[in-house]
Structure 1
Amino acid sequence: MRYGRMLGSAVMGLVAAGLLGACAGTGGRGMTAGPGDVKRGEYLFNQPGFGGGKNGKSCAACHPGGRGLEQVAARYAGRDAELRSMVNRCIRMALKGEGIRDDSQAMADILAYLRSLGG
């Protein structure tokens, strides 16, 4: 019985670490994305260290309140691969990060937020 509790605690710890990792900037590596969530995307957009960023900046440092990204939904309609590439380019160049997986929950969430900026 004691072994079962220890194993259960270990599994819960790993689950929590994975979920926290997605929000803390690891990009949810190894997780399969569900539908994007605008609120989670907004949270990630404003987090220094998103995508493994190492310079203490967030996406909002260059785009406060999403400024300059209002046309993303229209400009990248039907071009999801291109938009994911743009997100990772900004993470690598501006945030000095590693980027996030295209199929991660973090990517689904940040795209949902970016698409919401157009109104």
Structure 2
Amino acid sequence: MRQLTRAEEEVMQLLWQKGKSRVAEIIEDMPEPKPAYNTTSTIVRILEDKGFVGHEKAGRGFKYFALIDKDTYQKATMKKMVNSYFEGSFKNMVSFFVKEKNMSAKDLESILKELDKTRD
């Protein structure tokens, strides 16, 4: 799966959240300073070319919608990150976050509890 730029991911997050939306509706939910209509429209077209977004006719314009669900993209992105930066090891990734003090012992306990639930 192709990686998205920050701007493309921002648009995808809004489409995953809102569902079908016109470009103007996407812009409404973006933080200030809001991008120009043409900029957002171009990003949406790029996402269509990449196969992430589809569209349907809505009046004189179009409504756009996600073709790839968030969970699928999330899994592919995390897998790529683990493979690229942590030698394919989730253990190495978790160790990194613990060493960088981005994860507490309480967080680790919570993760272990979740893992135990999935084993049952």
Q: Give the TM-score of the pair, scaled to structure 1.
A: 0.27
More strand, by proportion:
2
**Larger RCO (CA under 8 A, 6+ residues apart):** 1
Q: Give the TM-score of the pair, scaled to structure 2.
A: 0.26
Please identify the structure whose Cα radius of gyration is greater.
Answer: 2
